[in-house]
Amino acid sequence: MIHGLTKESIIQAATDLNVPPAAIAAIAEVEAGPYGAFLKDGKPVILYERHVFARNTRPAGKYNVTHPDLSSPVRTAKYGTLAAQWVKFDRAAKLDRRSAIRACSFGLFQVLGENAVSLGYSDEEEFFGEMHTGVTAHLEACARFLKVNNLEDELRAQRWSAVARVYNGPDYADGNYHVKLARAYQRWEPEFKGPAA
């Protein structure tokens, strides 16, 4: 249905959270974009965030001067290709693997590794391994994120700015995430009407 994620799995996750299935589908569409969940080599799609790596190293910003392409005090709008993200990750992991995992958002729902422990994974490595197993694991990570951040009411009420603020950060409006989510929801809602939903 969406990059390998089935309608049934979306409905189950939505039922467990008591939110509209179209809301889950909308997040998947917006976060995955046209790229999907996995690269051709089987690795999950990631987005490497230099500023997240910087704030997770000890001391914070430890590599800002020596490796400015991997560590920065500010967020960048320039990421490069999907393949380049794994090159950055591999280089960053040689410096500080835990911070490198925490600095990447993973898979179909682009859940940030920094959230791993708060979402109930034993550590970043468990999360990292799970993100390699398939879109079902990606959906599970998203569901945990929505629950931990108490976004169920916002999803039921279609308060997309509130959802985007938590999911995409305080600069969500720069990427028009709230508008993209609202539009995606409207597209997916008819798909889940009827007895199956």
pLDDT for 105: 97
Identify whether residues 17 and 55 lie together within a single domain.
Answer: no
Can you read off the two tokens belonging to residue 183? 């539009």
Residue where a domain terminates, one of 70, 87, 106 = 106
Going by pLDDT thresholds of 50, 70 and 90, the confidence category of residue 197 is very low
What gap in Å lies between CA 88 and CA 50, rounded to an integer?
9
- 111 and 141 Cβ atoms separated by less than 8 Å: yes
Identify whether residues 64 and 97 lie together within a single domain.
Answer: yes
Is residue 129 situated within a structural domain?
no
Q: Is the pLDDT of residue 196 over 60?
A: no
**Range name among 34-38, 137-141, 160-164, 179-183 with the lowest pLDDT average:** 34-38
Identify whether residues 161 and 185 lie together within a single domain.
Answer: yes
Q: Is the pLDDT of residue 159 over 90?
A: yes
pLDDT for 56: 98
Q: Where are the alpha helices (DSSP H) in the chain?
A: 7-17, 21-32, 50-56, 82-102, 124-130, 135-148, 152-156, 160-168, 177-188
Q: What average pLDDT score do residues 142-148 get?
A: 98
Nearest to 151 by CA among 19, 29, 5: 19
pLDDT for 80: 86
Is residue 116 situated within a structural domain?
no
- One-letter amino acid for residue 182 of the chain: A
pLDDT in tens, 45-78: 999 999 999 999 999 999 999 999 999 999 876 7
Identify whether residues 50 and 95 lie together within a single domain.
Answer: yes
Q: What average pLDDT score do residues 15-19 get?
A: 97
* DSSP secondary structure, 2-54, as one string: BTTB-HHHHHHHHHHHTS-HHHHHHHHHHHHTTT-SB-TTSPBPEEE-HHHHH
Is residue 87 situated within a structural domain?
yes
- 108 and 71 Cβ atoms separated by less than 8 Å: no
Is residue 158 situated within a structural domain?
yes
Q: Is the pLDDT of residue 167 over 60?
A: yes
Instruction: Domain of residue 174: give its range.
Output: 7-37+134-192
* Domains contained in the chain, number: 2
Residue where a domain terminates, one of 55, 87, 106 = 106
Q: How many CB atoms lie within 10 A of CB 65?
A: 8
What gap in Å lies between CA 47 and CA 31, rounded to an integer?
11
Cβ within 8 Å of residue 84, ≥6 positions away: none
